[in-house]
Structure 1
Amino acid sequence: MNARVLAVARDAAHRFSKQTVADLAVLTGLGVAGDAHHGATVQHRSRVAADPSQPNLRQVHLLHAELFDDLRAKGFDVGPGELGENVTTVGIDLLGLPRNTVLAIGSEVALEVTGLRNPCAQIERFRPGLLAAVLDRAPDGALIRKAGIMTIVRAGGSIRPGDPIAVTLPPPPHLPLQPV
């Protein structure tokens, strides 16, 4: 299957879920126009409280639609935008990408992968039990976070459902994703 965008979403307020829309305007170095996490410096409320001058490494949140099937099997019926992502993808192993991978979306947009989304208590308030469902353990006991990846905008433009996604890996050594 070719990697592509399944859905796009945004919300101007700091709510957990985002509303799906026909397209997203993303701005270089800032993120999604009209989204609460838009900005050059950190916009996530807990990070703003700690240090509002930090760079915003969470400008655009991507989530793989394949997670919805896994969650459905665990009794959770969720769809695009409901887990707070801006871009829902299909056909790409987002969690397997190394840090600094560049995702070219459509003909204009380039997003650079900064790290993993670290699911928080908001996900539990959205649906009780969901936090545990988006976490797993590796054979060595390491925590696996499955709630998507975070990116910064290297080249802006529009993102629409159906847009193809091309992956450009950074030069080795490849750095594993860590929560940002």
Structure 2
Amino acid sequence: MAGEPQATVVAVSSSPGHTFGKPGRDVIRVLAGLGVEGDAHCGATVKHRSRVARDPTQPNLRQVHLIHAELHDELREAGFEVGPGELGENLTTRGLDLLALPTGTVLRVGAQAVLRVTGLRNPCAQIDGFQRGLLAAVLGRDDSGALVRKAGVMAVVVASGEIRPGDTVLADPPPPPHEPLRPGLIHAVMRAA
């Protein structure tokens, strides 16, 4: 709609190793069905070590991790020092409420890349190893008392392409009824793919 702020990519990050944070890059390339080229989590089957230990043949529904820069702003206001890529995300965005997107939302990023949102990132205790107290800061409660996970969303790559800081992000939700994002494997996404 006219007058609405445009969502953009603030930073892109990747790491060839299973590191907590990911260094910033000038550009990343996402590969359809695999993830971020050269990233430790790139592949058709799961790459997160805890999931590999349970079943290495599971489909990789966590190919790309996105965090909204507004979370970094909130964490800074709470006294934490967190920048793009430091929580393990591949894409840092601004101007898009990632957590409010329904499962299966298609994100068109830059000129060619297309992602499909699969679920919420479930933050783990490692986050407190980065900064003490950070795990509690990325968890909250809504008005009904339900747990709110604020550590971003996970996605799969539908169409390959390069992504750079400054690229636009357009969100295209699936047809209703909408299913809210949940942590873990989202089977509805597999049916929609």
Band the TM-score falls in, shorter-chain normalisation: over 0.9
Q: Aligned Cα RMSD in Å?
A: 0.5
1:108 aligns with 2:108: no
Which of these residues, 97, 100, 104, is aligned with residue 96 of structure 1?
100
The alpha carbon displacement at 1:139 in A equals 1.6
Which of these residues, 83, 87, 96, is aligned with residue 83 of structure 1?
87
Q: Find runs of 4+ consecutive structure 1 residues off by over 3 angstroms.
A: none
Which of these residues, 162, 166, 169, is aligned with residue 170 of structure 2?
166
> Structure 2 CA distance, aligned partners of 1:165 and 1:49?
34
Amino acid corresponding to residue 15 of structure 1 in structure 2: T
SS of 1:63's partner is strand
Amino acid corresponding to residue 76 of structure 1 in structure 2: F
> Structure 2 CA distance, aligned partners of 1:106 and 1:100?
19
SS of 1:107's partner is coil
The alpha carbon displacement at 1:28 in A equals 0.3
Q: Deviations over 1:108-164 (max 9, x none)?
A: 000000000000011111111000000001121110000000000000110000000
Equivalences for 1:20-169 in 2 at 5 Å? Answer: 20-169=24-173
> Structure 2 CA distance, aligned partners of 1:140 and 1:23?
41
Unaligned residue ranges in structure 2 (runs of 5+): 185-193
Residue 190 of structure 2 is matched in structure 1 by none
Q: How many residues align?
A: 180
Amino acid corresponding to residue 81 of structure 1 in structure 2: G
Percent of aligned positions with the same letter in both sequences? 63
Amino acid corresponding to residue 5 of structure 1 in structure 2: V
Residue 188 of structure 2 is matched in structure 1 by none
> Structure 2 CA distance, aligned partners of 1:3 and 1:45?
32
Q: Deviations over 1:74-101 (max 9, x none)?
A: 1101100001000000000000000000
Residue 15 of structure 2 is matched in structure 1 by 11
